Structure 1
């Protein structure tokens, strides 16, 4: 693979166009140039003092989508203003965020070198003085729905942040009753034709990029906190290779959250960033989502509904992908088969014995590969199987019965009650730390 690697990836410049409502990031890789455009409403406050710093962070994190086209050993920050801690976090963001990309392409990136940049310690900008105003990135799945319903009661002045426009997200967003701050991200057309251009392909830490866009939107809209919906198990490695964890969800992990918060503290301290679900399991989230029936007919987590190409987006749950099987499994302890069949268009994944291998992958079967997807960890999935199998209305499920027997034979499933308490560190503060977000 080394012969396909480029020589130098360079951060060129970032441009703000208030009248058009755009932030344009320019990069180059050897003799090829890339430009990415983030669109936000021109009516927002483009004179906000913290905007240049927020746009700079967006510029730094967005570069990963273009670096990976040829994955050179050298990243040149050009004249970009950075602090030493910015450079350290950026290196982590590239190495950990591209861990799956590196693994799938058999392309070690440990030799990465970051050079250039106007490196200096900077005084952070001013901290806004005013009431709490929350901005909640919203994807229409169970995690963000639970966070919205909790947050809007604690912080009445809350808004959704939505990147792009997808019908399932719009349907769920309408039910929240909250205003929306919108953004769109227009990738350079060259990366949408990776095969034609001979580029490497693979996963990038997109949640990190969307987090930077959300922070920029928060600055423009005078918001004080970006409230994420990333739960405890997002920090778990997807696979272990030579003792090194590779996490598909790195940019949803505690490690990313901590590093990004440090970066913000040095540049945009007026915006707090944290996940309201960080100490909680997916099982805890699913139990609470089950009590929100108004969302059950419209929520969507099937990734086929969010394809980059609108013509290839699925109109409904596909009912067979790894994300569909996980959502069915994690909700099965709390919703009846009839309720979940309604969600999945008449047949839930647990009704389909041909999907047994995918369920076993979620349960840690060493003969299967855990999917590179945003799914819970093995312990959560095993606990969900045992809890779902206790429901009388699921007594006749051959697949669930078989999975239960296998989990019991393994003998290492955590108890469901142990997953209903805070499980790790978090950055949740008042007023978000009230009630059952911490007890």
Structure 2
């Protein structure tokens, strides 16, 4: 991608302000319909008019929903904060220096939370577009309201919302949490074949399924086609805040994500550039502090798989064979519910599963042997840490890729790549065995779920 520094400077001069104007919601036909209004304000409206955005999010309400339990001031707080996440997808088109928040007042602590999320969540965006910016000056947030959103108390029940993406991680969470005896609500934003199949294969009641449809304003797509700035934004932060709303609607105490400890490793070593920033423990901790102080302290958001590595999750996934032919981890093939077999994410998934699943079965699951595929040589080197930058995908650490790859090579007698980072096979064998028993202490699991996860992990 070409250097966009001059475009960044140009657009910031044309559009000096980004305004979060308002949010709206209403219930109709058993759906909660939410919309946000943003304005990209032009300094030269006669030549380049200001751009109005109105993205939306529709939540299908569960059959158990009781509308009379909803309080407008509580929904206002939840929806307002969802808009604070949504705005970054539209701000990045021109990156105005000033962001004005009109619906509610934000104190300095709240402003710093959002600024940190935006800065780190856009690390990949700035890197890929070769934009030089700094955290202090890339954005100044101010509020244009004295109205404060009040935190509130909830009477929650011992139930668990489990966001589902369609990959191996959420399938593992769902299957393991089934044995907790608590009622599960699988939650999907923009359902696709693989995410729906995950719920079907887990044999959960259809009425427990929570669905949401997030729609991008066509005006943003038009700007993208015209060459405005574009790139990765922290989707998992939007998932986090939307999950809070779902927990409120269903009176659910627990929200169990499927983010593992490996997500903490940046895409570029010793930098803030992490494709998975909003899946990191750092974000999880910041988010918990934020919503407990400013929304409600009666919901527990955590990643169920946080103590584990990608290797451990792959081991657990190898045991739940009912998901082997329906899960999908490929972003390229997501719209067609397929594996493209030519991207870093497909290769990474293959490498992780190779030590635990026979080659013939794994080839049938994903399509072909990707470890020995010549066209993926560059991706293999990036995953193994032989380049400065890891693929900008949700992939594991350099160490676990090398460990898994050596294990797969030994198991299947593949030709050993000359560029493999971990050359000492005997040491790798010991490290691999040890890695399956590791337990990351940085997590927020309730004690009863920590016990459950340790029991399941002991089988690996």
Q: Is this a same-fold pair by TM over 0.5?
A: yes
1:339 — aligned with what? 361
Quick one: distance in 2 between partners of 1:382 and 1:390? 12
1:371-415, Cα deviation, whole Å (9 max, x unpaired):
111000101101111222332xx01x22xx226855206999681
Deviation (angstroms), 1:48: 2.4
Kindly tell me: are residues 412 and 57 of structure 1, through their superposed partners in 2, closer, same or farther at Cα, counting changes over 3 Å?
farther
Residues 190 and 197 of structure 1 are in contact (CA less than 8 Å); yes or no, is this contact kept in structure 2?
A: no
2:59 corresponds to 1:32: no
**Structure 1: tracts of 5 or more residues without a match:** 307-312
Deviation (angstroms), 1:155: 4.0
Residues 18 and 96 of structure 2 are in contact (CA less than 8 Å); yes or no, is this contact kept in structure 1?
A: yes
1:303 — aligned with what? 331
Comparing 7-16 and 422-431, the one that deviates more: 422-431
Match of 1:434, SS state, is helix
Counterparts of 1:204-243 in structure 2, within 5 Å, are 204-240=233-269, 243=270
2:449 — aligned with what? 432
Quick one: distance in 2 between partners of 1:362 and 1:410? 18
Residues 83 and 119 of structure 1 are in contact (CA less than 8 Å); yes or no, is this contact kept in structure 2?
A: no
TM-score by length of 1: 0.90
Report how many aligned residue pairs link the two structures: 423
Quick one: distance in 1 between partners of 2:371 and 2:223? 36
Counterparts of 1:286-325 in structure 2, within 5 Å, are 286-306=314-334, 313-325=335-347
Residues 381 and 419 of structure 2 are in contact (CA less than 8 Å); yes or no, is this contact kept in structure 1?
A: no
Residues 84 and 121 of structure 1 are in contact (CA less than 8 Å); yes or no, is this contact kept in structure 2?
A: no
Match of 1:24, SS state, is strand
1:10 — aligned with what? 19
Deviation (angstroms), 1:147: 0.8
What's the Cα RMSD here?
A: 2.3
2:125 — aligned with what? 101
1:202 — aligned with what? 231
1:206-244, Cα deviation, whole Å (9 max, x unpaired):
11112211221221122211110000011111014xx53
Quick one: distance in 2 between partners of 1:119 and 1:372? 40
2:47 — aligned with what? none
Quick one: distance in 2 between partners of 1:250 and 1:28? 26
Counterparts of 1:376-395 in structure 2, within 5 Å, are 376-391=396-411, 394-395=412-413
Quick one: distance in 2 between partners of 1:255 and 1:118? 30
Match of 1:427, SS state, is coil
Counterparts of 1:10-409 in structure 2, within 5 Å, are 10-19=19-28, 21-30=32-41, 31-42=50-61, 44-46=65-67, 47-49=69-71, 50-107=74-131, 108-110=133-135, 111=137, 112-118=139-145, 124-129=151-156, 131-178=157-204, 179-240=208-269, 243-266=270-293, 267-306=295-334, 313-345=335-367, 347-366=368-387, 369-391=389-411, 394-395=412-413, 397-398=414-415, 401-402=416-417, 406-408=421-423
Deviation (angstroms), 1:287: 0.4
Residues 332 and 384 of structure 1 are in contact (CA less than 8 Å); yes or no, is this contact kept in structure 2?
A: yes
Kindly tell me: are residues 32 and 122 of structure 1, through their superposed partners in 2, closer, same or farther at Cα, counting changes over 3 Å?
closer
Kindly tell me: are residues 134 and 83 of structure 1, through their superposed partners in 2, closer, same or farther at Cα, counting changes over 3 Å?
farther
Quick one: distance in 2 between partners of 1:73 and 1:283? 42
Residues 385 and 404 of structure 1 are in contact (CA less than 8 Å); yes or no, is this contact kept in structure 2?
A: no
**Structure 2: tracts of 5 or more residues without a match:** 1-5, 42-49
Residues 99 and 247 of structure 1 are in contact (CA less than 8 Å); yes or no, is this contact kept in structure 2?
A: yes
Kindly tell me: are residues 406 and 105 of structure 1, through their superposed partners in 2, closer, same or farther at Cα, counting changes over 3 Å?
closer
Kindly tell me: are residues 118 and 326 of structure 1, through their superposed partners in 2, closer, same or farther at Cα, counting changes over 3 Å?
same
1:309 — aligned with what? none
TM-score by length of 2: 0.86
